[in-house]
Amino acid sequence: MLKLEKGSFIGIYSKYRLPIDEKNLFKIESQEDTIKAFDTMIKPMKYVLAGISIIAFIIALIVIYIITSLIVEENKISISMLKVIGYENKWINSLVLDGTILPVIIGYLISIPLLLSSMQALFREATKKMNIAFPLMINPGYMVAGFVIIYITFLISKFISKKRIFAISMSESLKIQRE
Protein backbone atom coordinates (compact mmCIF):
# COMPACT_ATOMS: atom_id res chain seq x y z
CA MET A 1 0.00 0.00 0.00
CA LEU A 2 2.77 2.44 0.90
CA LYS A 3 5.18 0.82 -1.57
CA LEU A 4 7.97 0.46 0.98
CA GLU A 5 10.69 -2.11 0.62
CA LYS A 6 10.34 -5.34 2.55
CA GLY A 7 11.52 -5.11 6.17
CA SER A 8 10.65 -1.42 6.45
CA PHE A 9 8.88 -0.08 9.52
CA ILE A 10 6.04 2.41 9.48
CA GLY A 11 6.20 3.00 13.21
CA ILE A 12 8.45 2.42 16.18
CA TYR A 13 7.26 2.81 19.73
CA SER A 14 9.72 3.27 22.55
CA LYS A 15 9.72 4.44 26.14
CA TYR A 16 12.95 6.31 25.49
CA ARG A 17 14.17 8.51 22.64
CA LEU A 18 15.96 6.30 20.13
CA PRO A 19 19.29 7.28 18.54
CA ILE A 20 17.86 7.58 15.00
CA ASP A 21 18.72 10.48 12.74
CA GLU A 22 15.64 12.74 12.51
CA LYS A 23 15.95 13.10 8.73
CA ASN A 24 15.10 9.37 8.50
CA LEU A 25 11.92 9.90 10.52
CA PHE A 26 8.67 11.31 9.23
CA LYS A 27 7.23 12.20 12.61
CA ILE A 28 8.06 11.97 16.29
CA GLU A 29 5.02 11.80 18.51
CA SER A 30 4.93 11.63 22.29
CA GLN A 31 2.44 9.61 24.26
CA GLU A 32 0.72 12.84 25.29
CA ASP A 33 0.32 13.83 21.63
CA THR A 34 -1.24 10.46 20.86
CA ILE A 35 -3.64 10.76 23.80
CA LYS A 36 -4.65 14.30 22.74
CA ALA A 37 -5.26 13.14 19.17
CA PHE A 38 -7.31 10.19 20.41
CA ASP A 39 -9.37 12.45 22.71
CA THR A 40 -10.01 14.83 19.81
CA MET A 41 -11.09 11.91 17.64
CA ILE A 42 -13.45 10.55 20.31
CA LYS A 43 -15.06 13.89 21.26
CA PRO A 44 -17.81 13.71 18.58
CA MET A 45 -18.51 10.13 19.63
CA LYS A 46 -19.34 11.36 23.14
CA TYR A 47 -22.12 13.53 21.73
CA VAL A 48 -23.45 10.65 19.68
CA LEU A 49 -23.44 8.42 22.77
CA ALA A 50 -25.26 11.12 24.76
CA GLY A 51 -27.95 11.21 22.06
CA ILE A 52 -28.19 7.43 22.06
CA SER A 53 -28.52 7.51 25.86
CA ILE A 54 -31.43 9.93 25.67
CA ILE A 55 -33.16 7.79 23.05
CA ALA A 56 -32.51 4.68 25.18
CA PHE A 57 -34.07 6.45 28.19
CA ILE A 58 -37.20 7.24 26.18
CA ILE A 59 -37.41 3.67 24.83
CA ALA A 60 -36.94 2.26 28.34
CA LEU A 61 -39.69 4.53 29.65
CA ILE A 62 -42.05 3.36 26.91
CA VAL A 63 -41.24 -0.33 27.42
CA ILE A 64 -41.58 -0.17 31.20
CA TYR A 65 -44.81 1.81 30.86
CA ILE A 66 -46.26 -0.74 28.45
CA ILE A 67 -45.35 -3.61 30.78
CA THR A 68 -46.83 -1.91 33.84
CA SER A 69 -49.94 -0.98 31.81
CA LEU A 70 -50.36 -4.62 30.81
CA ILE A 71 -50.03 -5.67 34.45
CA VAL A 72 -52.68 -3.12 35.46
CA GLU A 73 -54.96 -4.22 32.61
CA GLU A 74 -54.57 -7.92 33.45
CA ASN A 75 -55.33 -7.24 37.10
CA LYS A 76 -58.23 -4.87 36.46
CA ILE A 77 -60.81 -7.19 38.05
CA SER A 78 -58.59 -7.90 41.06
CA ILE A 79 -57.93 -4.18 41.53
CA SER A 80 -61.65 -3.48 41.39
CA MET A 81 -62.35 -6.25 43.92
CA LEU A 82 -59.67 -4.86 46.23
CA LYS A 83 -61.38 -1.47 46.04
CA VAL A 84 -64.74 -3.12 46.85
CA ILE A 85 -63.20 -4.85 49.86
CA GLY A 86 -61.93 -1.49 51.10
CA TYR A 87 -58.24 -1.37 50.27
CA GLU A 88 -56.84 2.11 49.77
CA ASN A 89 -55.31 3.06 46.44
CA LYS A 90 -51.89 3.32 48.13
CA TRP A 91 -51.98 -0.36 49.14
CA ILE A 92 -53.34 -1.46 45.80
CA ASN A 93 -50.53 0.41 44.04
CA SER A 94 -47.92 -1.29 46.18
CA LEU A 95 -49.48 -4.73 45.62
CA VAL A 96 -49.75 -4.38 41.85
CA LEU A 97 -46.80 -2.19 40.85
CA ASP A 98 -44.08 -2.75 43.45
CA GLY A 99 -43.67 -6.38 42.43
CA THR A 100 -42.35 -5.27 39.05
CA ILE A 101 -39.12 -3.82 40.45
CA LEU A 102 -37.47 -7.24 40.73
CA PRO A 103 -37.53 -7.93 36.95
CA VAL A 104 -36.16 -4.42 36.37
CA ILE A 105 -33.21 -5.07 38.71
CA ILE A 106 -32.54 -8.54 37.27
CA GLY A 107 -32.77 -7.19 33.72
CA TYR A 108 -30.27 -4.44 34.52
CA LEU A 109 -27.83 -6.87 36.15
CA ILE A 110 -28.05 -9.21 33.15
CA SER A 111 -27.51 -6.32 30.73
CA ILE A 112 -24.09 -5.38 32.16
CA PRO A 113 -22.18 -8.51 31.04
CA LEU A 114 -24.14 -8.55 27.76
CA LEU A 115 -23.14 -4.94 27.09
CA LEU A 116 -19.52 -5.65 27.97
CA SER A 117 -19.27 -8.69 25.69
CA SER A 118 -21.02 -6.99 22.76
CA MET A 119 -18.86 -3.87 23.05
CA GLN A 120 -15.70 -6.00 23.22
CA ALA A 121 -16.79 -7.81 20.05
CA LEU A 122 -17.56 -4.49 18.35
CA PHE A 123 -14.15 -3.00 19.24
CA ARG A 124 -12.38 -6.22 18.27
CA GLU A 125 -14.00 -6.11 14.82
CA ALA A 126 -13.42 -2.37 14.41
CA THR A 127 -9.71 -2.61 15.26
CA LYS A 128 -8.95 -5.99 13.68
CA LYS A 129 -6.86 -4.50 10.86
CA MET A 130 -5.24 -1.77 12.98
CA ASN A 131 -3.24 -3.96 15.37
CA ILE A 132 -4.62 -1.95 18.28
CA ALA A 133 -6.24 -3.31 21.41
CA PHE A 134 -8.78 -1.35 23.40
CA PRO A 135 -9.20 -2.67 26.90
CA LEU A 136 -12.86 -2.21 27.73
CA MET A 137 -13.91 -1.67 31.32
CA ILE A 138 -17.08 -0.22 32.76
CA ASN A 139 -16.57 2.34 35.47
CA PRO A 140 -18.53 1.30 38.60
CA GLY A 141 -19.77 4.89 38.87
CA TYR A 142 -21.35 4.56 35.43
CA MET A 143 -22.99 1.29 36.46
CA VAL A 144 -24.52 3.01 39.48
CA ALA A 145 -25.58 5.99 37.34
CA GLY A 146 -27.14 3.60 34.82
CA PHE A 147 -29.10 1.86 37.56
CA VAL A 148 -30.26 5.20 38.96
CA ILE A 149 -31.49 6.21 35.51
CA ILE A 150 -33.32 2.89 35.05
CA TYR A 151 -34.83 3.20 38.54
CA ILE A 152 -36.00 6.77 37.86
CA THR A 153 -37.49 5.55 34.58
CA PHE A 154 -39.29 2.82 36.53
CA LEU A 155 -40.60 5.35 39.07
CA ILE A 156 -41.90 7.65 36.31
CA SER A 157 -43.64 4.73 34.65
CA LYS A 158 -45.05 3.60 37.98
CA PHE A 159 -46.36 7.11 38.66
CA ILE A 160 -48.10 7.18 35.28
CA SER A 161 -49.57 3.71 35.89
CA LYS A 162 -50.92 4.78 39.29
CA LYS A 163 -53.31 7.08 37.47
CA ARG A 164 -54.67 4.08 35.57
CA ILE A 165 -55.24 2.25 38.86
CA PHE A 166 -57.06 5.27 40.29
CA ALA A 167 -59.29 5.29 37.19
CA ILE A 168 -60.49 1.70 37.75
CA SER A 169 -63.90 1.88 39.41
CA MET A 170 -65.33 -0.46 42.00
CA SER A 171 -68.16 -1.34 39.65
CA GLU A 172 -65.69 -2.81 37.12
CA SER A 173 -65.67 -6.20 38.87
CA LEU A 174 -69.46 -6.24 39.04
CA LYS A 175 -69.75 -5.50 35.30
CA ILE A 176 -67.48 -8.39 34.45
CA GLN A 177 -69.30 -10.71 36.89
CA ARG A 178 -72.56 -10.01 35.03
CA GLU A 179 -71.02 -10.88 31.68
Report the distance separating Cα 110 and Cα 107, nearest Å.
5
Please write the tens of the pLDDT for every residue from 1-43. 567 777 776 677 777 878 888 777 777 777 788 788 878 887 8
List the one residue out of 148, 132, 141, 179 whose CA is nearest residue 34.
132
Inter-CA distances, 170 with 79, 85, 89, 98, 175, Å: 8, 9, 12, 21, 9
What is this structure's pTM?
Answer: 0.65
Report the distance separating Cα 91 and Cα 78, nearest Å.
13
Asked if residue 76 belongs to a domain, the reply is yes
Give the total residue count for the chain: 179
Report the distance separating Cα 60 and Cα 63, nearest Å.
5
Task: Compute the average pLDDT of residues 160-169.
Answer: 82
Asked if residue 3 belongs to a domain, the reply is no
Residues 132/36, Cβ–Cβ less than 8 Å = no
Asked if residue 24 belongs to a domain, the reply is no
Asked if residue 1 belongs to a domain, the reply is no
CB atoms within 10 A of CB 61: 17
- Residue 79, class by beta-carbon neighbours within 10 Å (0-12 exposed, 13-18 middle, 19+ buried)? buried
Asked if residue 9 belongs to a domain, the reply is no
Residues 153/60, Cβ–Cβ less than 8 Å = yes
| Confidence band of 131 (pLDDT split at 50, 70, 90) | low
Please write the tens of the pLDDT for every residue from 40-60. 887 887 788 788 888 988 888
pLDDT(110) > 70:
yes
Domain containing 118 equals: 32-178
| Confidence band of 177 (pLDDT split at 50, 70, 90) | low
Report the distance separating Cα 164 and Cα 89, nearest Å.
11
Asked if residue 66 belongs to a domain, the reply is yes
Asked if residue 18 belongs to a domain, the reply is no
Asked if residue 117 belongs to a domain, the reply is yes
Total domains in the chain come to 1
Give the CA diameter of the chain: 96
Please write the tens of the pLDDT for every residue from 77-108. 888 888 888 888 888 888 888 877 888 889 88
